[in-house]
Amino acid sequence: MSQVSILVFDIFGTVVDWHGSIVRELSAAHPQVDADAFARAWREGYQPAMQRVRSGERAWTRIDELHRGILDEILPRFGLDHLDEDQRARLNRVWHRLDPWPDSVPGLTRLKARFTLCSLSNGNIGLLTNMAKRAGLPWDCVLSAEVFRAYKPDPRVYLGAAEVFDLPPAEVMMVAAHQDDLAAARACGLATAYIERPLEFGAAHVKDVSPDPANTRHARDLLDLAEQLGC
């Protein structure tokens, strides 16, 4: 553990609250829609869409475009198929405007004093950069599946992050609120830290945040992780 020098972060759910942010924006614009169901439906389309890229059925495609395809699919189901091109494009960019969890900016700021901090998300570079600038996320480097042209949990993403810094995987720690992401990182030799985000899917769908002893660390939030890592 003492040798870890780079922390790489999952973003959606781990650093930013996608569910709450989408619910807030959608409720304001379309109060008649079940925003909780809408946010979850949009997110549910995410893994299958990436899977088509992972399997090679679809050529490399950015998340912005995958998000848009899912959005077009779900809009009729929520009575929103009247939205025009501009409204759809704007709504799709909500993923660039996600709000951080309250501990994210102070936690990252403390961690940054001692570690190099990178995003390591399936989100595209432009999305992650726009999000960070708006939310004040203090990345040293924006790494993305787009850099490696592969989506997590493809090993090329985790190993690629270590290779960018010319470091053995054990000197890089993956930080995420998802055990499957961490398991894939661990299989590549990275250290791992689980972050509890019980409200990732909203207060109506509290998530199981049980510890997995295979992780190097288990933290309540990013301030707790900073504490544990002596920052």
* DSSP 8-state class, residue 77: G
Among the listed ranges 25-33, 126-134, 183-191, 205-213, the one in contact with a copy of itself (CB under 8 A) is 126-134
Cis (ω within 30 of 0) for the bond into 153?
A: yes
Q: Is 50 in the site for a copy of itself (CB under 8 A)?
A: no
Q: Restricting to residues 153-172, which ones interact with a copy of itself according to CB under 8 A?
A: 164-166
Task: Enumerate long-range contacts of 61-64, CB under 8 Å, 24 or more apart.
Answer: 62/124, 62/146, 63/95, 63/122, 63/123, 63/124, 63/127, 63/145, 64/92, 64/95, 64/124, 64/126, 64/127
One-letter amino acid at 134 equals R
Q: Is residue 61 part of the contact set for a copy of itself (CB under 8 A)? A: no
Q: Identify the residue among 64, 99, 171, 227 touching a copy of itself (CB under 8 A).
A: 64
- Please tell me whether residue 90 binds a copy of itself under the rule CB under 8 A: no
Q: How far is the CB of 142 from a copy of itself (least distance, A)?
A: 5
Size of the site for a copy of itself (CB under 8 A): 20
For the bound state, the minimum distance from the C-beta of residue 98 to a copy of itself, rounded and expressed in Å, comes to 16
Distances (CA, A) of 113 to 89, 117, 135: 37, 10, 19
Examine residue 69 and tell whether it contacts a copy of itself (CB under 8 A).
no
Among 10, 17, 25, 146, binds a copy of itself (CB under 8 A): 146
Query: Least distance from C-beta 125 to a copy of itself, angstroms?
Result: 5
Burial classification of residue 27, based on how many CB atoms lie within 10 Å of its CB (0-12 exposed, 13-18 middle, 19 or more buried): middle
CB 63 within 8 A of CB 124: yes
Positions that interact with a copy of itself (CB under 8 A): 64, 116, 118, 124-126, 128-130, 132-133, 140-143, 146-147, 164-166
